[in-house]
Amino acid sequence: MKYVLLNNKGFTLLDALLSFMIFLVISLSFPLVIKGLQIIQKESLPPRYYEWNLFSESLRTEMWGGSNILYSPEEISFESDGGTITYERYQDSVRRRVGGLGHEVVLQEIDSFVITEVQQGIKISVVFKEGENVESEYYHYK
């Protein structure tokens, strides 16, 4: 029968407490890390202001070079560079199409998209799902 030599390499109460503290620090930091990642993700999305300005300036630039402007309450189309460019509401977004083809989303998460006539141009009013209301007028001189 072999005898096992006794030594002092056992798992003591102090080791158990230290291991438990390390486990607690790691497990309690997970919610903080997840919340931080959610905040970073939320802040990385462009605000509606930038999305609206990009849409507005793109439409204004294309309309200046366009001709044969036709519109309905939820769609505007015009000729530009030999093709027909159309901006229209599609589900909860506004999309841009060229020649009846394509699907380029230019505004997202909208409740309403309304085009009305003003003197020598059009007025576009958009209400986003968060309730934000924006509008702009576009003029076309012949």
pLDDT tens per residue, range 93-137: 999 999 989 899 999 999 999 999 998 889 999 999 988 899 999
- pLDDT for 46 beyond 70: no
Distance CA 82, CA 79 (A): 6
- pLDDT at res. 142: 58
Q: What is the DSSP string of 14-38?
A: HHHHHHHHHHHHHHHHHHHHHHHHH
- pLDDT at res. 131: 87
- pLDDT for 39 beyond 80: yes
| pTM metric for this prediction | 0.66
**Sign for the pseudo-dihedral over CA of 61, 64, 66, 70:** positive
Reported as a pLDDT band with limits 50, 70 and 90, residue 49 is confident
- pLDDT at res. 5: 62
